[in-house]
Structure 1
Amino acid sequence: MWGCLVSLYTCIVFTVSCIHVTHAILNLTVEAKLNHEVKLPCRLPSGDYYGVNVRWFNKKDGWLTDGNTVYKHPGQIFISKPAPNEWNLHIKRISTSFEDIYTCQTAKGTVLSYIKLAVETSPRIDDEKSSPIRVTLAENTMVVLTCTVSGTPEPEIAWYRGLSETATGITGPELKIRDVTRYAADEYICRAKNTNGEAERRIRVAVNFAPEVTVMEPVVYAAGGEVVVMSCAVKASPLFDAYWTKGTDVYGTPIEPGWKYLVMVDEESDNIPVRFLTLIIRKSIVSAQDYGMYTCVAKGERHVAQNSVELRARKQKSVRVRGK
């Protein structure tokens, strides 16, 4: 104690060698670029450093150096002494394996530097901790899409939707959709960016719902020699089958294209599964036995839906003959 009162210079030397007086510890985080060299600083307070020995440690490898001697990774790390009171640790070619907490201290145990080394990397998406690339759920439920990303500096994450990649305005590792409807079915893109690059994950969301059948016209009129056209739109997810049948029995025989019938099928969208079925009875074919009910049928996972069209005979206009 009297040494401190007599001379501040003596007190500092006493602190380094005897470790009785506290001092400021250099405590910081160093971000280094991948495959570049990095320097971790270690500096003693000013004074007489004769006989002082300094060592570097990290949590993974333990004791790394003693003075200028390197014990671990001798081809990759070395000590530089730009001044008598400095023992800087250099790592020549940084890889992620060097990410750790590094401590510089005297042989007597006085800690001088406490440095967290973070290696700058481009964003990387963790497949196991992120949502799968295809998610299927039922209507009126909630879905949480997750995108787990690593990288230094910490990547910024933004969500986009659809082929046009429209910004959703949602940022961060999660995208929540509450009360999901069939119109939420789409592709969602998680895009992560930092100063070293970017990464993305595309997640296809499918929404299951029971089949629905809509007919364009519930009643169609035709006469012999006319083409008959009946159309329906079928919606379901998943949609296992869709067809026209004669009559109203949903388990009746599907009408197949042939000499009499033409069946046209058009797909609308993958996001909202819609199938258009057009049944055409060819010209000059219609006869009395063709009139009646035709049913458009849709089969889903656990449900069947139907809607019917009635084909009626068109009344022929009577033709008057003059003189009769």
Structure 2
Amino acid sequence: MACFYKMIWLISLLLWTLQFIFAQNSLDRQASYAADASIDKTKLEEIMNKAASYERKSEMNITTVEGGEVILPCSMVTGEKSAVAWMDKMDNVLFYNEQRIIDDERFEMLHSGNQWNLQIKNVSTLDGGQYRCLLNSSPVQLKFSDLIVYKPPKIDRVASSQNIIADEGMNVTLICNASGYPQPKYKWSVMKTDDSRQPEDIPGPEDGQVITIYNTQRNCEDIYICTADNGYGAGDQLQISVKVTFPPNISLPNKKLYHTVGGQTVLSCEVDAFPLGVMYWTKDGAKIKDSTQSEGSRKYKYSFEESESGGRIMRLTIYHIQDRDFGFYKCSASNTKGRAEEYMELINQAMLKKLPALWPYDTSTSASPYFTDFALKPSYTSPRRPSRAPRPGAPLPSPVSSVSCVGVILSKSLLILHVVVVCLFL
């Protein structure tokens, strides 16, 4: 215990020593300024002692904004032996009559007649506090001015959230940290990444420095705006971009394309994913490579463009179509979150002409080589089967004039061209 009390005594002694050194340095600094201004050190000590003997009180509040300019008024009727001094909140003498004591050119004495006004330029928040105008007379006259410095809001970019990339389904927390006096109020809004680009307010408390987005989905990929305002200055804004990662999703405009040998066609595949990752086409298990740069060969060409939804459209141009080019093509896409695949079929258009009796569609009237949907009309009538001689004692068959044929619709998902004709029995 003795050691503990000894330590407390040493700490107290150290604090008292530091306080004494600080006070002595302040006095020495005032004395050095006074020496430069040819002012007697004893006069400064007298002014400081007189000011310290009077209780501080609030008489006048003067407000300004950081970076601005302010004038603290003081009206004193001086005599031949009296002097006016200005002191700050730390009891430092700023001016003695019109002579500058403080080494800060932002402070100026504006003297005219009985007016001894103190002007401060480029005001900072550190300048706030109580100032005293003192007339060194008997009795001493004092005037108090409380300077209040308002600081426009400023958002701390380091202590606030940066652009965020989050997995789909996660909760995302956005932080907006601003300083200022008085304490700024916060407002959040979201700017959709569509064509409107108009911010929409997010309801919440004025002191809401933090908002949370629960169960983020890919449609949450927007720009969130934090606005800090305290009524002074223009306010400050911070924009935070939120990106949501999700596995690829593939959509095909057509799953079947019909073409002829010798021509060219384009296969399209739209991929929606973040990040976009890798996209390519394959056929028969082999990855298709762009061959437009190869000498003497121009078979496949890749092209890409951004889709309206923000994804990417991948197109594969196939030149000089041959029989081996017909078949199934696979669009593949993968990123760090997963992969997706979709199949498209390229069909030889000449196959449509191999069933003229069962094919009522006139392909010669279509100028487009792309066919996506066909239908058989239920108008085909099969010929009557040859009659057989009835067995002895058997009943005679009922006469049938014709056999109706059921029409079959060829959908886009069939393999090449399937025609199913179901005929009714006699």
Common fold by TM > 0.5: yes
Counterpart CA distance in 2 for 1:54 and 1:186 is: 59
TM, length-normalised to structure 2: 0.52
Decide whether aligned partners of structure 1 residues 72 and 260 sit closer, same or farther in structure 2, where only a CA change above 3 A counts.
Answer: same
Check if 1:37 corresponds to 2:70: yes
Instruction: Find the aligned partners of 1:319 and 1:90 in 2 and give their Cα distance.
Output: 106
Alignment partner for residue 224 of structure 1, among 261, 273, 277? 261
Question: Are the aligned partners of 2:133 and 2:143 in contact in 1 as well (CA < 8 Å)?
Answer: yes
Secondary structure class of the residue paired with 1:58:
coil
Write out per-residue CA displacement over residues 217-254 of structure 1, whole angstroms, 9 at most, x where no aligned residue: 3343444355444321112111221111113x4xx423
CA shift for structure 1 position 182: 1.3
Distance 2:108 2:221 in 1: 56
> Closer, same or farther in 2 for the Cα pair 1:41/1:230, shift >3 Å?
farther
Does residue 277 (structure 1) correspond to residue 314 (structure 2)? The answer is: yes
Over 3 Å counting, the alpha-carbon distance change for 1:32 and 1:229 in structure 2 is closer
> What residue is the counterpart of 1:290 in the other structure?
325
User: Is the 1:94–1:119 contact (alpha carbons within 8 Å) kept by the matching residues of 2?
Assistant: no
Give the conservation status (yes or no) of the 8 Å contact 1:42–1:113. Answer: no
Structure 1, residues 57-95: CA drift from partner, whole Å, max 9, x if none? 426xx53459868653464446789999xx987342132
Partner AA of 1:216 in structure 2: P
Runs of 5+ consecutive residues of structure 2 not aligned to the other structure: 1-49, 77-81, 137-141, 293-297, 358-426
Secondary structure of 2:314's partner? strand
- Of 162, 166, 170, 2:198 maps to 166
Counterpart for residue 254 of structure 1: 288
1:184 aligns with 2:220: yes
Q: Give 1:181 shift.
A: 1.3
Residues 116-265 of structure 1 mapped to structure 2, 5 A cutoff: 117-121=148-152, 123-132=153-162, 134-151=163-180, 157-158=186-187, 159-162=189-192, 164-170=196-202, 173-192=209-228, 194-225=231-262, 227-247=264-284, 249=285, 252-258=286-292, 259-265=298-304
3-state DSSP class of the match of 2:331?
strand
Between the aligned partners of 2:102 and 2:57, the Cα distance in structure 1 is 28
Change in 2 beyond 3 A, CA 1:310/1:119: same
- Helix, strand or coil for the counterpart of 1:295? strand
In 1, Cα distance between equivalents of 2:220 and 2:149: 39
- 1:114, 1:142 → 2: CA distance? 51
Code of the aligned partner of 1:145: L
Q: Could you tell me how far apart the structure 1 residues matched to 2:151 and 2:117 are? A: 18
**What SS does the corresponding residue of 1:316 show, helix, strand or coil?**
helix
1:187 positional shift: 3.1
CA distance in 2, matches of 1:42, 1:179: 66
Give the number of equivalent residue pairs: 284
* Residue matched to 1:58: 89
What is the aligned partner in structure 2 of residue 90 from structure 1? 118
Higher helix share: 2
Structure that is richer in strand per residue: 1
Counterpart code for 2:290: E
CA distance in 1, matches of 2:287, 2:148: 72
**TM-score scaled to structure 1, two decimals?**
0.66
**Secondary structure of 2:219's aligned partner:** helix
Percent identity at matched positions? Answer: 21
Aligned AA (2:289) = I
Q: Is the Cα–Cα contact under 8 Å of residues 234 and 274 in structure 1 kept in the other structure? A: yes
What amino acid is aligned across from residue 304 of structure 1 in structure 2?
A: R
Q: CA RMSD in A?
A: 4.4
Q: Which runs of 5+ in 1 are unaligned?
A: 1-15, 44-50
Question: In the alignment, residue 71 of structure 2 is paired with which amino acid?
Answer: V
Q: Choose 1 or 2 for highest CA Rg.
A: 2
